[in-house]
Structure formats: structure tokens, C-alpha cells
Amino acid sequence: MPEFFVLSWRVAMRHWAIYKKDFFANILPTLIDPALFVMVFGYWLGAHITQLNGRPYLTYMAPGIAASTALFTAYFESSYGFYVRLVYENIFKAVMTTPIGPHEIITGEFIWVALKGAIMAGLVGVVLFAFGIIKVEYIWLLPIMGGLVGLACGAIGLIATGYVRNMNQFQTVYALLISPMFFISGVFYPIDQMPRALQYVCYLSPLYHGVRLSQSALWAEDVLRDWLIHGASLIALTAILMLWAWRRIYPKLYS
């Protein structure tokens, strides 16, 4: 078993080695997007909104940006990124001539999206703290939230890879699933503003639970209660999505 994790870790480190080759090009969109959201919605639009649920609008929406950064980084990595490795670069055909097999490859992908989610959410947290937008006591929880959202949304990307017939179809998944998830998961407003039915849909969104985890941590409010409720929900959703991804991707690697 330990060898299984050592080999899976090496797969993840292979992705990191490639990622850091173009570090600035790779990390820029992940950090520019949150910065734009904070500027446009937080400062400029937020200036016209005095308060939301008793706090400045910028403080309200900032935690959600940390969570959605984990969503985007993980989804793009495991959809486009994985697809290119699988179909265009044929990397896994070479990897599978070594002691590494399909289990280690998939586990390595999960490790990689979890790490990316954790690091990116953490970085956004640091930036938000530097601007004095959030409270710092529980900021160390942010990478845990990012890792979980990264795993769940990475799994969604892998599931998508398991279904698409070509790379263009990832846009369909983005338009019908990822983008709506971003807008209805309570990043910009509390979900009780939405119709009841849509709120139930929200409970199935890993991002929603990530947003709630992030909010409780960065507002330093109801941390224990929210982390129990939304942590458990997110773990359950993540487990289901990972299982689904595993069953969908395994035959692509080994049949």
C-alpha cells in the first residue's frame, strides 16, 4: 500500500514539474480573476451596496472567491489538462510501461487537483488578508476547504473527460454546469434570496458548501457548526463524485 501512494505522489509531482515550467503563465489567471472580482464587485459595485447581512459587501463576497478559485483551477486541470495528457500527449501510455498503473494515475490526478485547490485558495486568502478584507484567526482552514473543493470539482472534470467525445464539449459542461454553479452557490448573495427549489439544488453543489466553509472561516463566525455541517456535506459529495470519476476514467486508461 505505501508503494501505491509513493507512485501516485510521483504522478502528481510530474504534473507539478510541468506546471512550474510555465509558472507565471499558469498562475496568472488563477490570481487575476479573483483580483478582478474583488475590484469590480467588491469595491466598485460594492460601493453602492451599503451592507449585506450586516457586513460590508466586499467582506461578504470575498470568501466565496477563494472557494470558486479552487473550483476553476481544479475543473480546468482535470478536464482540458487531463484530456490533453490522455489523448494528445499519450503520456499515460508511456507511464503505464513503468510500475505505475491506472490506479496510481487516477490517484495522482486527485492528489494534484487537491493540492492545486488548496494552494490557490490559500493564496487568495493571503491576498484578501493583505487587503484587510477578512479576519485571520481561521485562515489556516482555507487550504483544507480548497483541497476539498478541488477534489470534488476535479472529479467533475474527470467525469466530463469520461463522457466528452472531443475537447470542444468541455465548453458545454462549462456552460451548463460549472458557470451556473459559480453563480448560484452563494458567492455573491445568500442563497435564501433564490426560489426554494433552487436552494435544494444548491445543497448538491460542492461549491456552495465550499463557500459556506470559507465564509465561516474568514468571518470567524460559527466556525465549528458550519464546518461540521458543510464539511460533512462536502466530504460526502466529494466521495460520490470521486467514485463516479474513478469508474468513468478507469476504462479510458485500462480496458
State the residue for C-alpha cell 453602492: 48
Residues 92 to 151 in contact with other proteins, rule: CB under 8 A: 93-101
Total binding residues toward other proteins, as defined by CB under 8 A: 22
21/196 with CB nearer other proteins: 21
Min. distance of Cβ 110 from other proteins in angstroms?
Answer: 18
d(CA 108, CA 228): 28
Min. distance of Cβ 115 from other proteins in angstroms?
Answer: 18
> What x/- string results for residues 40 through 79 when contact with other proteins is judged by CB under 8 A?
----------------------------------------
Min. distance of Cβ 164 from other proteins in angstroms?
Answer: 21
State the residue for C-alpha cell 451548463: 176
Q: Does 16 bind other proteins (CB under 8 A)?
A: no
All three cell numbers of 175, joined, read: 456552460
Q: Does 193 bind other proteins (CB under 8 A)?
A: no
The answer to whether 233 and 227 have CB atoms below 8 angstroms apart is no
State the residue for C-alpha cell 460526502: 236
Written as one letter, the residue type at 49 is: I
All three cell numbers of 7, joined, read: 507512485
* Among candidate residues 153, 142, 14, the one with its CA nearest the CA of residue 77: 153
Residue 253 gets which letter from DSSP?
H
2/195 with CB nearer other proteins: 2
- Which spans of this chain sit near other proteins (rule: CB under 8 A)? 7, 10, 13-14, 17-18, 21-22, 89-91, 93-101, 254-255
